C-alpha cells in the first residue's frame, strides 16, 4: 500500500446515544488535558433523520468548536433496538429482525459469541467516525469517559514500541478494553489486518466491541501496553481522582489520567445527571 501522509494530530472518536452531554464532558476534558493538536469525531447513534433533534442539539452544542465534527451514525429502526439481545428466547425482537434491518446476526464472527446489539451499534459507529479522520493517531473514547490529567507526553512514546495502548484489561473475555479508551497509530489499522484488509478498525468479530485488535496482536506476538488500572487493581480504586460511585480509572506513572464510568447509557437518569455534575466540578466548568 502506498504511504499516506497523515496529519500530525489525534483523532478522538466517541459514540453517543441519547445522553449527549457525555460528549460535552469529553471535549472539555480534552481541551484541558490534551496538549496536542486534535479533532473530535462525535458519532450519533439513534435518530439521524433529516429532522433529528439529536443532531441539531449536537451541532448547536459545538457550534463554536471548529475541531469538533458531528457525524450521523447508525439510524435505528425503533427507539428500543439498542437494549435487546438477539438470538435469545423471550426477547422483544427475534434474531431475524436484526438480520433483516441491520445485517447483524447477533454473533461474533470468529468465536461465535452471542453479542448485545448495542455492542454492534457501537463498533459500526466507531469505525464510521474513525474513517473520516486523517490524524496520525486514533483514540477511541467511550461516551462515559473523562480525561483526568495530562497524558500525551507519557503515552504517545509507548506507541513506538507497542501496537496500541489501552487503559485496562477485561478479564472476563479476556481482551484489552480497547473501545472504552485506547490509542493506536492510524497507519497500523490502515496497513495491517487480521484476516481481511480494514478489519483492525472496530468491529464485533471477536469477543465484543474491538476485541479483534487484541487477538491480532496476540497471535502475531506483537507487544501492546495495558496501563495500570483500577479495573484489575483494588488498591488503585482507593486512589481514584473522580469521586463517583461507579467506574474505573487508568493510570500512567502513578497518576489517574482517564475515568470510565461504565454502563453510561443504561444507568438511571439521576445517576447520569450526578455524573455530569461531578465531572463538571472536576473540570471546573460548572
Q: Measured between alpha carbons, how far is 68 from 43 in angstroms, rounded to an integer?
A: 11
Q: Which three cell numbers stand for residue 148?
A: 483526568
* Average pLDDT value for residue range 155-182: 96
Question: Mean pLDDT of all residues in the chain?
Answer: 95
* Average pLDDT value for residue range 14-23: 97
pLDDT at 180 > cutoff 80 = yes
pLDDT tens-digit readout, 131-153: 999 999 999 999 999 999 999 99
CA 87 to chain CA mean position, Å: 25
pLDDT tens-digit readout, 29-40: 999 999 999 999
Contact 41, 14 (CB under 8 A): yes
* Average pLDDT value for residue range 242-254: 96
pLDDT at 173 > cutoff 50 = yes
pLDDT at 1 > cutoff 60 = no
Query: With bands split at pLDDT 50, 70 and 90, how would you rate the model's confidence at 5?
Result: confident
Q: Which three cell numbers stand for residue 22?
A: 457525555
Provide the β-strand partners of residue 147. Answer: 258
In the prediction, which pLDDT does 85 show?
A: 76
pLDDT at 58 > cutoff 50 = yes
Q: Measured between alpha carbons, how far is 110 from 112 in angstroms, rounded to an integer?
A: 6
Name residues whose C-beta falls within 8 Å of residue 210's C-beta, 6 or more positions apart in sequence.
123, 126, 140, 178, 179, 182, 202, 203
pTM for this predicted structure? 0.97
* Average pLDDT value for residue range 237-247: 95
Q: Measured between alpha carbons, how far is 45 from 33 in angstroms, rounded to an integer?
A: 27
In the prediction, which pLDDT does 220 show?
A: 98
pLDDT at 80 > cutoff 60 = yes
In the prediction, which pLDDT does 263 show?
A: 87
Amino acid at each position: 500500500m502506498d504511504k499516506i501522509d497523515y496529519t500530525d494530530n489525534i483523532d478522538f472518536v466517541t459514540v453517543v446515544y441519547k445522553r449527549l452531554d457525555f460528549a460535552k464532558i469529553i471535549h472539555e476534558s480534552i481541551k484541558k488535558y490534551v496538549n496536542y493538536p486534535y479533532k473530535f469525531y462525535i458519532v450519533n447513534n439513534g435518530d439521524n433523520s433529516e429532522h433529528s433533534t439529536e443532531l441539531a442539539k449536537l451541532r448547536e452544542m459545538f457550534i463554536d468548536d471548529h475541531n469538533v465534527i458531528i457525524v450521523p451514525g447508525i439510524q435505528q429502526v425503533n427507539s428500543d433496538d439498542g437494549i435487546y439481545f438477539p438470538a435469545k428466547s423471550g426477547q422483544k425482537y427475534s434474531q431475524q429482525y436484526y438480520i433483516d434491518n441491520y445485517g447483524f446476526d447477533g454473533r461474533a464472527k470468529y468465536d461465535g459469541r452471542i453479542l448485545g446489539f448495542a455492542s454492534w451499534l457501537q463498533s459500526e459507529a466507531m469505525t464510521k467516525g474513525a474513517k473520516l479522520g486523517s490524524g496520525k493517531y486514533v483514540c477511541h473514547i467511550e461516551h462515559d469517559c473523562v480525561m483526568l490529567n495530562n497524558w500525551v507526553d507519557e503515552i504517545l512514546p509507548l506507541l513506538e514500541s507497542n501496537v496500541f495502548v489501552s487503559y485496562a484489561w477485561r478479564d472476563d473475555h479476556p481482551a484489552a478494553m480497547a473501545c472504552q479508551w485506547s490509542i493506536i497509530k492510524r497507519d497500523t489499522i490502515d496497513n495491517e489486518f487480521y484476516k481481511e484488509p480494514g478489519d483492525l478498525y472496530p468491529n464485533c468479530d471477536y469477543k465484543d466491541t474491538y476485541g479483534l485488535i487484541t487477538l491480532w496482536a496476540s497471535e502475531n506476538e506483537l507487544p501492546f501496553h495495558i496501563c495500570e488500572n483500577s479495573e484489575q487493581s483494588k488498591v488503585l480504586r482507593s486512589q481514584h481522582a473522580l469521586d463517583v460511585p461507579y467506574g474505573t480509572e487508568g493510570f500512567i506513572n502513578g497518576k489517574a489520567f482517564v475515568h470510565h464510568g461504565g454502563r453510561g447509557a443504561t444507568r438511571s437518569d439521576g445517576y447520569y445527571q450526578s455524573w455530569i455534575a461531578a465531572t463538571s466540578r472536576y473540570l471546573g466548568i460548572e
